């Protein structure tokens, strides 16, 4: 079974605004309030591929109720922990000439909440994958993800990490199966510009030296780079299309990679499916359906990169 963990889920308030001005009263041309957060998006996308998945995490307040309502409506299996205080966050995503986002902080959690989570995670076995992704709410230690991996990887649970900064970095010694920073997140983590493929590849190697197994670097409209745990490197072009909503493109990519790995374990096809899933979601108003992903598969060019 694949499990996803979203410690800080959200209602994504996705607004289309014509000619946005930061100093005027703007009005929406279209708006949707959709349950999100990285792990939830990965779970929804995996279910689009008919891959069995259970979404885990924390929810709070009436926003948490709505997140749960939407997950149930989409037929997603979930086992979220309800916390008593605070509200699950609302993340604002404005789509105008440019896209910009304001992500909230989320409810304050405590050690008891973490104990409840660990009790759930302790039931996972070597047959399972766990995707840990996104930011964590206030009150949780920056070592949360590394604490989870140090508990689960010795038991053979394959962990995938999509997080930023120290939250990601601390997990690396625990040998995550896959990490997926985007280009900018990797630059931030390594504290240097990575202007081209050669520099990105060096960055990916550095994450491997720190312990990561497969390193997948997403590059938005420029496609992606993959460094595999057996030392092969590939780049992929992204298909051309009209971007409607790139929120969730990275999560779709993680889901596509995992769905591909579960198909036949072939890394190159998993990489192709990952890029197709990311791009299909960027070209959709929401997370793309399977047929939209499959239509893009042949448009992606994969090239090997010499190490
Ligand atoms: N403008 C775009 N055109 C085509 N594909 C895109 C575009 N933006 C994102 N994608 C696809 O989604 C993947 C993940 O997007 P990216 O923005 O890099 O991730 P994140 O959402 O984590 O920041 C990319 O590697 C690419 O395949
Ligand atoms: O936990 P974070 O880093 O604040 O990110 C949360 C946001 O990420 C998303 O999951 C989208 O992620 P991506 O665009 O990176 O795939 C949104 O649904 C959510 O609002």
- H/E stretch holding 179 reads strand 178-179
- The percentage of the chain sitting over the pLDDT mark of 90, rounded to a whole number, equals 95
Residue 166, in any domain of the structure = no
pLDDT band for position 174 (50/70/90)? very high
pLDDT at 94 over 90: yes
Total number of domains constituting the chain: 1
As a whole number, mean pLDDT of residues 258-271 equals 93
Residue 47 Cβ contacting ligand 2 at under 6 Å: no
pTM: 0.96
pLDDT at 307 over 90: no
Residue 257, in any domain of the structure = yes
Q: Which atom of ligand 2 is nearest to the CA of 133?
A: 1
- The percentage of the chain sitting over the pLDDT mark of 70, rounded to a whole number, equals 100
pLDDT at 264: 83
Average pLDDT, the chain: 96
Residue 8 Cβ contacting ligand 2 at under 6 Å: yes
Angle between helices 183-190 and 197-209 (to 10 degrees): 60
Residue 82, in any domain of the structure = no
As a whole number, mean pLDDT of residues 33-56 equals 97
Residue 93 Cβ contacting ligand 1 at under 6 Å: no
pLDDT at 99 over 90: no
**In degrees rounded to 5, what are phi and psi of residue 50?**
60, 30
Residue 296, in any domain of the structure = yes
pLDDT at 24 over 90: yes
As a whole number, mean pLDDT of residues 301-305 equals 97
Whether this model's ipTM surpasses 0.85 comes out as yes
Range of the structural domain that residue 224 is part of: 177-307
pLDDT at 263: 86
Residue 192, in any domain of the structure = yes
Taking the centre of ligand 1 as the mean of its atom positions, its distance from the CA of residue 154, in whole angstroms, is 33
Alpha carbon distance 50, 45 (integer Å): 9
pLDDT at 139 over 90: no
Alpha carbon distance 285, 221 (integer Å): 17
Residue 227, in any domain of the structure = yes
Residue 165, in any domain of the structure = no
Residue 114, in any domain of the structure = no
Contacts of residue 214, Cβ cutoff 8 Å, sequence gap at least 6: 177, 178, 179, 226, 227, 228, 229, 267
Alpha carbon distance 163, 147 (integer Å): 14
CATH of the domain at 202: 3.40.1190.20
Active site residues: 251
Residue 179: beta bridge partners? 161, 215
pLDDT at 138: 86
Render pLDDT for 121-134 as a digit per residue (tens, 0 to 9): 999 999 999 999 99
What is residue 101's three-state secondary structure?
strand
As a whole number, mean pLDDT of residues 267-295 equals 97
């Amino acid at each position: 079974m694949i499990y996803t963990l979203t410690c800080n889920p959200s209602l994504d308030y996705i607004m289309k605004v014509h000619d946005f001005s930061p100093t005027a009263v703007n009005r929406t041309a279209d708006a949707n309030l959709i349950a999100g957060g990285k792990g939830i998006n990965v779970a929804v996308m995996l279910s689009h591929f008919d891959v069995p998945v259970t979404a885990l995490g924390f929810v709070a307040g009436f926003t948490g109720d709505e997140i749960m309502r939407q997950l149930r409506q989409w037929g997603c299996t979930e086992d979220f922990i309800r916390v008593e205080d605070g509200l699950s966050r609302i993340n604002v995503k404005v789509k105008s000439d440019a896209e910009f986002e304001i992500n909230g902080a989320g409810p304050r959690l405590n050690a008891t909440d973490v104990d409840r989570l660990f009790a759930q995670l302790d039931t996972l076995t070597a047959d399972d994958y766990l995707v840990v992704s996104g930011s964590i709410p206030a009150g949780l230690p920056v070592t949360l993800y590394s604490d989870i991996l140090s508990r689960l990887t010795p038991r053979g649970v394959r962990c995938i990490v999509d997080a930023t900064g120290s939250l990601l970095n601390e997990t690396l010694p625990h040998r995550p199966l896959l990490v997926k920073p985007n280009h900018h997140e990797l630059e931030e983590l390594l504290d240097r510009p990575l202007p081209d493929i050669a520099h990105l590849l060096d960055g990916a190697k550095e994450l491997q030296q720190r312990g990561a197994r497969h390193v997948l670097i997403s590059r938005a409209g420029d496609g992606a780079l993959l460094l595999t745990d057996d030392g092969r490197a590939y780049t992929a072009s992204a298909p051309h299309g009209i971007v409607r909503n790139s929120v969730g493109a990275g999560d779709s990519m993680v889901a596509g990679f995992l769905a591909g790995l579960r198909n036949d374990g072939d890394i190159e096809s998993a990489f192709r499916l990952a890029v197709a899933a990311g791009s299909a979601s960027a070209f959709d108003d929401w997370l793309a359906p399977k047929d939209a992903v499959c239509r893009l598969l042949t448009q992606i060019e994969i090239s090997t990169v010499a190490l």
